[in-house]
Amino acid sequence: MSENAKMPPLPTGTFGERAVTWSRKNLFDGWFNTLLTLGAIAFIIWLIPPIFNWAVVNATLTPTIEGCAEVTGACWGFVNANLRLILFGTYPYDEQWRPVLAMIVLVGIICGSLAAVKFPGLRKWIIPMWVIGVPVIGILMWGGVFGLTYVQNSFWGGLPLTMILSAIGVIFAFPLGLLLALGRQSNMPAIKTVSVVYIEVIRGVPLITVLFMASVMFPLFLPAGVTIDKLLRAQIGIILFTAAYLAEVFRGGLQAVPRGQFEAADSLSLSYWQSMRLIILPQALRLVIPPTVNSFISMFKDTTLVVIIGLFDFLGTVKLALRSDPAWTKYYVEGYAFAAAIFFLICFSMAKYSAYLEKELRKGERR
Amino acid sequence: MSKPHHAPGDVRSKSLTDYLNDENVRAVLYQVVAIGLIILTSWYLVSNTLDNLEQQNISTGYSFLDLEASFEISESMIDYSAKSTYATALLVGLLNTIKVAFLGIILCTIIGIIFGVARLSSNWIVRKLATVYVETFRNIPVLLQLFFWYALIPNSFPHPRDALEPLPGVLLTSRGLYLPVPIADTAYTLMGIAAILALVAIYFVKKWAKKRQDATGEPFPMTAAGFGIFFGLVFIAYLLGGAPTEIDMPTLKGFNIRGGYNISPEFLALLIGLTVYTSTYVAEVVRSGIQAVPNGQWEAADSLGIKRSVALRKVILPQSMRVAIPPLTNQYLNLTKNSSLAVAVGYPDLVSVSNTTMNQTGQAIEAISIFMLIYLGLSLLTSLFMNWFNKKMALVER
């Protein structure tokens, strides 16, 4: 720690000399560090080659059970043979370009919204993008208009389902969470109590209980004869759950806006909503973008829980593929590894972007 | 919002708009409307629910808790059979939740601290390995990890007939892990009492040592003394109890293993999954806790001539604890909440037992309300603890 404060010596000498100096300082600094380095190298040598051999050298991509039986390594053929099932679930085979297009639209809007942090010119397009984009996704997925055949949402599945559940969850939770956060800050005792109770109750229980509630209790809440399907119930459960977490994120942002800003708005005799819209929220929301992305990441991971109430999201379709033929069942490592890799890529890159945004926002403060 | 101005002596009664422009009147109005809406909605939902329940011939109330559960639970810490009541079944579930959460919290703390410190290591390769561990396991959904471990254990370990025996008496099979346990004896009760007595003794010795150090400046080797008192007393109790050596060894009988203590694959998968996932978060908490202590604290300790190891223990860690404990408690709570994913791997925790109860009795509302209330209670307790801790740890400024 205190070493960090010292200026590092300027690099001198040839590449080889510098490499030696670097490794002395970073790898072989004292007997304890040398021991750690040797141990770590031994660990890597023990771990990596067998995994590499299994995953690459001895693996096969042949999409047949017979082809997989011949090799000693990974049977990526399982993923290869069931790729469409894993990615899109039971969505009609010939129509699967539609979920692909829907995913592209969704990723486009998400990236566009996030890019707006960096490019202020995009900001005024965020709301139009979502207002147009979400119905477009709905039309693509459901169909039934413009000559697209109608696809019931019980056939939806795989990666598009995971992305839709989490993205729509966060988008609809956004306004609800904002209202809850404002309610929590409010001077009106009744409104404050309702917001606090809602936020704390939802945050106090696991997501799976909210999903159980959505799948078992929602049907009881509706008048006899009215039913809403399982996907929509899960989506509502996810929205209600996310809203409580976003409310706490927004509260953090609101609390970070200095008191003087509220007073300045008051002294201009702006109304509550005017001061919020023009003064407070623009400052608060800017601060909460990175934690909101983090909420989205955890929602993206938590969406897998809908498997438990019988929906086939990306994890559910992997399980579906594993069960599709008893001969495939033993290739669960390959199936789960594939799903894990996709989840990792998406979550990791979003997490890195969120960390970058946080740094960018702090840069502005320092200026 | 300015209040309407009236000249002194103005007796004109306020008009309706005047009232509506009054901030206080408006606040009351908003709240009445909000509460009214909430009451109306709840009334609508409740009346619908009651209608639906009546149509489906489901009675409401918690009387089903006294009925016979008539389902088996694969593992239980208390006496339970299919003849027990639903209430007992739920208690079994709650105890199972507590068991996995308790062990998970201990393990994820240990692993998390190791990786958190390793991420700050001056050793490049150790730092990178720790980063890879943390980034990999925190970016893969915990449910996927659970499914993976749950598929791995029965498939990659041998049938009980050719069980692996990594240590004498420890058997690894597709049916879980078998451990040898000492056969019950009064000596172990004595040892338990001795352990509690030792903790009390340590508390008083610590108090005395602090008083002495405050008065004379002389330090007391508290860690060594603490371990000495604890293990010494427990060992004396063991000897006084007659030093029993009988151990219940797991052995193969027929097609299965008898004796010993069985840790089921479900429990093992859940424990490993939760521990690995949460340990990545704990590692981050530990890392940011240590980094949150300003460099000046190290330098101040240096300039007082305090050794680096002592500075870490007495100057840095107590300060990073203040930063780290609240998010750490949060992670513990998350682990406890995530343990409800047991339902996906078939471990009979609270949610999974409630789910069975719900399916058998149709008492969805009651079953869900029970486990929601229990989790809420746990969260409430945690936040009470956090408030207490924050108050105790808050910087006392002059």
| Interface check B1 vs A, CB under 8 A | yes
| Residue range B32-44: mean pLDDT, rounded | 86
Give the type of residue at B199: L
pLDDT above 80 (res A7)? no
Angle formed by the axes of helices A158-185 and A281-302, nearest 10°: 140
- pLDDT at residue B278, as a whole number: 93
SS3 B236: helix
Which of B35, B121, B140 has the highest number of chain A CBs within 10 A, making it the mutation to test binding with A? Answer: B140
Q: d(Cα B262, Cα B248) in Å, to the nearest integer?
A: 12
Closest by CA to B90, choosing from B392, B371, B304, B386, is: B371
The percentage of chain B sitting over the pLDDT mark of 70, rounded to a whole number, equals 94
Q: Which residue has the tokens 């039971």?
A: A90
Closest by CA to B123, choosing from A103, A174, A28, is: A28
| Residue range B135-147: mean pLDDT, rounded | 91
Domain contains A40: no
Q: Which residue has the higher pLDDT, B316 or B396?
A: B316
Binary contact (B148, A332; C-beta < 8 A): yes
| Chain A, nearest residue to B124 by Cα | A26
- pLDDT at residue B370, as a whole number: 87
pLDDT band at B281 (very low <50, low <70, confident <90, very high): very high
Binary contact (A307, B379; C-beta < 8 A): no
| Residue range B99-121: mean pLDDT, rounded | 89
Q: d(Cα A95, Cα A149) in Å, to the nearest integer?
A: 8
- pLDDT at residue B2, as a whole number: 47
Domain contains A259: yes
Q: Tokens in use for B325?
A: 């404990």
Q: In chain A, how many domains are there?
A: 1
Would you give the distance in Å from CA B232 to the centre of its chain? 31
Would you give the distance in Å from CA A166 to the centre of its chain? 7
Closest by CA to A300, choosing from A248, A260, A242, is: A242
pLDDT above 80 (res B135)? yes
Residue B108, min C-alpha distance to chain A (Å) = 19
Alpha-carbon distance values, A264 to A8, A58, A275, A280, B383 (Å): 46, 69, 9, 10, 35
| Predicted ipTM of the assembly | 0.85
Residue B134 · residue B361 · CB < 8 Å: no
Per-residue pLDDT tens over the stretch A311-350: 888 888 888 888 877 777 777 888 888 889 999 998 998 8
pLDDT band at B131 (very low <50, low <70, confident <90, very high): very high
Indicate the average pLDDT of chain B.
82
Per-residue pLDDT tens over the stretch A29-43: 777 778 888 888 888
- CB burial of residue B398 (10 Å; 0-12, 13-18, 19+): exposed
Q: What is the domain range of residue A190?
A: 75-91+151-365
Residue B365 · residue B309 · CB < 8 Å: no
pLDDT above 70 (res B398)? no
The percentage of chain A sitting over the pLDDT mark of 70, rounded to a whole number, equals 95
Per-residue pLDDT tens over the stretch A194-242: 888 898 888 888 998 888 888 888 877 877 777 778 888 889 999 999 9
Tell me the chain B residues in contact with residue A311 when contact means C-beta distances shorter than 8 Å.
Answer: none
Task: Count Cβ neighbours within 10 Å for each residue of A201-212 and write b for 16 or more, e otherwise.
Answer: bbbbbbbbbbbb
Per-residue pLDDT tens over the stretch A68-98: 777 777 777 777 777 777 878 777 777 778 7
Which of A45, A47, A202, A205 has the highest number of chain B CBs within 10 A, making it the mutation to test binding with B? Answer: A205
Would you give the distance in Å from CA B332 to the centre of its chain? 4
| Interface check B124 vs A, CB under 8 A | yes
Give residues with Cβ within 8 angstroms of B171, minimum separation 6: B160, B163, B164, B165, B177, B178, B250, B257, B260
Residue A88 · residue A155 · CB < 8 Å: no
Domain contains A172: yes
CATH number at residue A274: 1.10.3720.10
- pLDDT at residue A240, as a whole number: 92
- pLDDT at residue B141, as a whole number: 92
Domain contains A42: no
Tell me the chain B residues in contact with residue A343 when contact means C-beta distances shorter than 8 Å.
Answer: 139-141, 144
SS3 B58: coil
Scanning A345-364 for CB atoms below 8 A from B yields 347-348, 351
Closest by CA to B87, choosing from B337, B353, B336, is: B353
Domain contains A46: no
DSSP state of A155: G
Tell me the chain B residues in contact with residue A224 when contact means C-beta distances shorter than 8 Å.
Answer: 48, 51-52, 55
Domain contains A49: no
Scanning A286-345 for CB atoms below 8 A from B yields 297, 301-302, 304-305, 307-308, 315, 319, 330, 332-333, 336, 339-340, 343-344
CATH class assigned to B86-164+263-393: mainly alpha
- pLDDT at residue A275, as a whole number: 87
The residues spanned by each domain of chain B are: 86-164+263-393, 193-242
Tell me the whole-structure pTM to 2 decimals.
0.83
Domain contains A339: yes
Which of A25, A36, A41, A208 has the highest number of chain B CBs within 10 A, making it the mutation to test binding with B? Answer: A208
Task: Count Cβ neighbours within 10 Å for each residue of A218-257 and write b for 16 or more, e otherwise.
Answer: bbbbeeeeeeeebbebbbbbbbbbbbbbbbbbbbebbeeb
Q: d(Cα B247, Cα B236) in Å, to the nearest integer?
A: 20
| Residue range A160-187: mean pLDDT, rounded | 88
| Interface check A212 vs B, CB under 8 A | yes
Q: Tokens in use for A60?
A: 């096969």
pLDDT band at A2 (very low <50, low <70, confident <90, very high): very low
Per-residue pLDDT tens over the stretch B62-91: 777 777 777 777 787 777 777 778 888 888
Q: Which residue has the higher pLDDT, B31 or B110?
A: B110
pLDDT above 70 (res A5)? no
Domain contains A25: no
| Chain A, nearest residue to B355 by Cα | A212
Q: Which residue has the higher pLDDT, B215 or B8?
A: B215
- pLDDT at residue B382, as a whole number: 81
A-B CB pairs within 8 A amount to: 161
